[in-house]
Amino acid sequence: MNVKEKIHYFEAAEPKLTKTGFMVVGKHNLYLVMMKGGLFGCTEAEVVEYKDIKEVDFDFI
């Protein structure tokens, strides 16, 4: 993420339903970050460019 990139939305995942993490909607990209627990916890990030998104499927519980 660029230092000057604007953040339009920030949402944390509900840990009861999925793995702990958060989603950041930036000006140019969508950032998905998943937290991994354990003794040596770490994070895993995925950057999705908007031009690569072809279809969106929403599941509501």
Q: How far apart are CA 48 and CA 61, in angstroms?
A: 24
17 lies in some domain: yes
Residue 4: inside a domain, yes or no?
no
Looking at residue 23, its pLDDT comes to 86
Question: Does 1 fall in a domain?
Answer: no
In a domain, 57, yes or no: no
Domain membership of residue 33 (yes or no) is yes
Q: 18: domain range?
A: 9-50
Confidence of residue 53 (pLDDT cuts 50, 70, 90): confident
Per-residue model confidence (pLDDT) at position 43: 84
In a domain, 21, yes or no: yes
- Torsion from C-alpha of 5, 11, 12, 18, nearest 10 degrees: -120
Query: The tokens of 8 are what?
Result: 């339009």
Give per-residue pLDDT as tens, 16-51.
766 788 888 888 889 988 887 766 778 888 999 988
Name the domain count of the chain. 1
Answer yes or no: is pLDDT of 61 > 60: no
Tell me which DSSP letter residue 53 carries: -
Residue 14 lies in a domain: yes
3-state secondary structure of 44: strand
User: What's the distance, Cα to Cα, between the start and end of the chain in Å?
Assistant: 31
pLDDT of the residue at 38: 65
| pTM exceeding 0.85 | no
In a domain, 20, yes or no: yes
